[in-house]
Amino acid sequence: MSPNFLPSNRIAEAVELAITLQGEQTRKATGIPYLSHLLGVASLVMEHSGDEEQTIAALLHDAIEDAGAYAEAVIREQFGERVVRIVLACTDGVPDEQGEKGDWQIRKQNYLAHLAEAPVEVLLVSGCDKLHNARAIVSDLYTHGPAMFSRFKAGQAGTLWYYEQLAGAFQAHLPGSLADELARTVADLKRLAS
């Protein structure tokens, strides 16, 4: 079976840009380099038949959310309009001048509504992001138990609500193995949280 695409140097350039933009960040309260999440999402995109530009977008999917307009301009210049469109569509809030993204619940409700209209190329990257995050939460629940929810703004109830809604949205709008895996992971998350 032939691959969906043969990776070019653009993948390495995207990893380099991800390190430049987010290389000093860590996952919430873990010390794990944030790059591990970006690489994990990109890997899932490739495993679920994404193309090179979707893989690049996966590597940069949080850059605009975290680095703002500067990141958007750099991504557009280096990787083009399609990659920027996917990254923007995976963003649930860009910080204002004070670094605030707005009310968590409103942002998440808006993002869930956005998924209903999002093209498949966006749903794939977003779904891989949400799956990787859900897997990390499940892993942390095994290690730390429900106390780990204290690191999330929404706490346990809000986080569980959001992931249940995400699982349903992806089942409805991107049915298949990715949505099924997300649903199974969210079921594990709920079981471990109780």
What does the pLDDT look like over 100-127, one tens digit per residue?
778 889 999 999 999 999 999 999 999 9
Provide the whole-model pTM: 0.93
Of 13, 16, 66, 188, catalytic:
66
CA atoms within 13 A on the CB side of 114: 17
Of 65, 121, 164, 188, catalytic:
65
Summarised one tens digit per residue, pLDDT across range 53-102 is: 999 999 999 998 877 788 999 999 999 999 999 999 999 877 667 667 78
* Displacement of CA 153 from its chain's centroid (Å): 17
Residue 66 falls in the annotated catalytic set: yes
Q: Which of 189, 183, 66, 50 has the alpha carbon at shortest distance from 123?
A: 50
DSSP string of 56-76, one letter each residue: HHHHTTTHHHHHTHHHHHHHH
Residue 65 falls in the annotated catalytic set: yes
Summarised one tens digit per residue, pLDDT across range 152-177 is: 888 999 999 999 999 999 999 999 99
